[in-house]
Amino acid sequence: MGRTNDSAAHDAMQTRIADSAWTAKQVAALSKLGYQVADKSIAGVLVELHNRRIFQAGMVVVGSLAYMSRLNEFGAVAPAAGALHVKLARRQMLKLATTISFLSAMHATQLPFVVIPGVPRKNPSTSMKLTGADGRRVEVFAPGPIFGEIVALPELDWHAQTVPFYDYLLEGSRVGAALAGGHCVPILLPDVARMIWYNLYSSTRRGEDPAKAERHLVQAATLAAILIEQQSVLLRESYREAPRELRNVAHSRLPRLEKLLAEHPRARDEFRKLR
């Protein structure tokens, strides 16, 4: 809205509209070429967080959505990751000028999000979901030595669930992009090598759902094969920098990794050298 004689504002808005239409066409074209594109509900979440500069303040996208974005960055074609949820993680207090309500940001998407009660119910919530059995979830995590503890995020008036070794995973995160709906949204992503070692660890975590554990292992193997083809030295360097427990996990998962990497002998041999 503006004055009818404000031609500069009118022209600027027309340019923004044209740019948005162009981006939507490019995202649709990339999807046909095999790029990973999340759906419109995920796009709505990412856009609202981007508009509030929450990614710029230090919030990192993790999980399958981060994996999809890394595949796109490398130009790699792999089976769809099936990102059903938006998983976010904050390593340290976000650098925001003022408190931003995370719940209000989700309501601004105009999607029917409901808060998931804490477990046990006396605990604050760390996630919300769209209504319906298959509704998308938005979950927030933070580093912590014990899985599942609840920590406050005062800058978002929200809470997060702790996950071991997330301090390692999130260190050195950098700007990337997520394709979702008709948007290309700037986000923060974990370092790809750290994603490999963390996913290997996650695939062995006690109590993990078997299907989810296998997905983490496949993602680690896929990223490793891609990284070794393009920058093999990074895998060896990152192995030396990883915590001892994550390195031990890499050895314990080697038999299964060798099967997954049967068609990628170079990647398989690189893991063998780490013994």
Q: Does any domain span residue 232? A: yes
Residue 70's pLDDT is 94
Q: Do 74 and 129 sit in the same domain of this protein?
A: yes
Q: Which residue has the tokens 């981007």?
A: 50
pTM above 0.75, yes or no: yes
Q: Does any domain span residue 1? A: no
- 208 pLDDT above the threshold of 70: no
Residue 81's pLDDT is 61
Q: Do 140 and 209 sit in the same domain of this protein?
A: no
Q: Do 224 and 99 sit in the same domain of this protein?
A: no
Distance, in Å, from the CA atom of 219 to the CA atom of 70, rounded to the nearest integer, reads 11
Residue 159's pLDDT is 97
Residue 195's pLDDT is 96
- For 116-149, the pLDDT digits (tens) are 988 777 889 999 999 876 688 999 999 999 999 9
Residue 5's pLDDT is 82
Residue 250's pLDDT is 82
> Exposed, middle or buried by CB within 10 Å (0-12, 13-18, 19+), for 36?
buried
Q: Which residues contact 79 (CB under 8 A, 6 or more apart)?
A: none
| Residue 35 and residue 81 in contact, taking contact as beta carbons nearer than 8 Å | no
Amino acid sitting at position 101? S
Residue 180's pLDDT is 93
Q: Look at residues 171, 190, 209 and tell me which one is the last residue of a structural domain.
A: 190
Q: Look at residues 140, 157, 190 and tell me which one is the last residue of a structural domain.
A: 190
Q: Do 145 and 235 sit in the same domain of this protein?
A: no
- For 152-199, the pLDDT digits (tens) are 999 999 999 999 999 999 999 999 999 999 999 999 999 999 999 999
Q: Do 144 and 205 sit in the same domain of this protein?
A: no
Q: Which residue has the tokens 């983490």?
A: 216
| Residue 261 and residue 217 in contact, taking contact as beta carbons nearer than 8 Å | no
Distance, in Å, from the CA atom of 39 to the CA atom of 179, rounded to the nearest integer, reads 9
Mean pLDDT of the 194-208 span: 86
Mean pLDDT of the 12-30 span: 79
- For 57-106, the pLDDT digits (tens) are 999 999 999 999 999 999 888 876 655 789 999 999 999 999 999 999 99
- 29 pLDDT above the threshold of 60: yes
Task: State the pLDDT confidence band at 1, using cuts at 50, 70 and 90.
Answer: low
Q: Do 185 and 201 sit in the same domain of this protein?
A: no
Q: Look at residues 156, 171, 190 and tell me which one is the last residue of a structural domain.
A: 190
Q: Do 183 and 245 sit in the same domain of this protein?
A: no
Residue 82's pLDDT is 58
The CA distances from residue 135 to 39, 83, 131, in Å, are: 12, 12, 6
Residue 118's pLDDT is 83
Q: Do 182 and 200 sit in the same domain of this protein?
A: no
Q: Does any domain span residue 4? A: no
Question: 14-23, 42-51, 61-70: which has the minimum mean pLDDT?
Answer: 14-23
Tokens of 16: 């923004």
Question: 13-17, 67-71, 107-111, 214-218: which has the minimum mean pLDDT?
Answer: 13-17
- 26 pLDDT above the threshold of 90: no
Q: Do 209 and 222 sit in the same domain of this protein?
A: yes
Q: Does any domain span residue 2? A: no
Mean pLDDT of the 249-266 span: 88
What's the domain count of the chain? 2
Mean of per-residue pLDDT scores for the chain: 89
Q: Which residue has the tokens 């981060």?
A: 66
Q: Does any domain span residue 241? A: yes
Q: Does any domain span residue 144? A: yes
Going by C-alpha positions, the residue among 169, 167, 232 that lies closest to residue 195 is 169
Q: Do 14 and 149 sit in the same domain of this protein?
A: yes
Distance, in Å, from the CA atom of 170 to the CA atom of 195, rounded to the nearest integer, reads 9
Q: Does any domain span residue 96? A: yes
* Domain residue limits at 251: 191-275
Q: Do 64 and 137 sit in the same domain of this protein?
A: yes
Give the CA diameter of the chain. 71
DSSP the chain: ---TT-HHHHHHHHHHHHHHHHHHHHHHHHHHTT---B-HHHHHHHHHHHHTTTTTTT-EEEHHHHHHHHHHHHT---S-----EEEEE-SS----SS---HHHHHHTTTS-EEEPPPSSTTSPP-EEEESSTT--EEEEEEE-SSTT-EEEEGGGTEEEEEETTHHHHHTT-EEEEEEETTEEEEEEE--HHHHHHHHHHHTT-TT--HHHHHHHHHHHHHHHHHHHHHHHHHHHHHHHHS-HHHHHHHHHTHHHHHHHTTT-HHHHHHHHTT-
Task: Count CA within 13 A, CB hemisphere, residue 34.
Answer: 8
Q: Do 122 and 195 sit in the same domain of this protein?
A: no
Task: State the pLDDT confidence band at 213, using cuts at 50, 70 and 90.
Answer: confident
Q: Does any domain span residue 3? A: no
